[in-house]
């Protein structure tokens, strides 16, 4: 492999790694958003359940 082939290979490898890192970051962000939405929904359901329980006890 001559100098130019090695240089092109190194550049291609760098670009590939950068693309993969970008894809992994986007995937991580989407997973975090999904989990946060599920946690928020769970917290909201717990609040509603406590409200219902409190209303039932006070009647």
Instruction: Give the pLDDT score at 56.
Output: 80
Instruction: Give the pLDDT score at 52.
Output: 87
Mean pLDDT of the 49-53 span = 88
> How far apart are the C-alpha atoms of 32 and 47, rounded to whole Å?
22
Instruction: Give the pLDDT score at 54.
Output: 82
Mean pLDDT of the 17-35 span = 98
Structure-block tokens of residue 49: 């359940």
Q: What is the maximal distance between C-alpha atoms in the chain? A: 86
Phi, psi for residue 41 in degrees, rounded to 5: -65, -40
Instruction: Give the pLDDT score at 59.
Output: 64
The residue that leads in pLDDT, 12 or 54, is 12
Residue with tokens 């946690």: 39
pTM recorded for the entire structure: 0.66
């Amino acid at each position: 492999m001559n100098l130019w082939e090695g240089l092109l290979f190194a550049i291609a490898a760098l670009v590939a790694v950068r693309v993969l890192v970008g894809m992994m970051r986007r995937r991580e962000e989407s997973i975090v958003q999904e989990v946060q939405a599920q946690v928020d929904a769970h917290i909201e359901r717990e609040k509603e359940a406590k409200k219902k329980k409190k209303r039932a006890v006070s009647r």
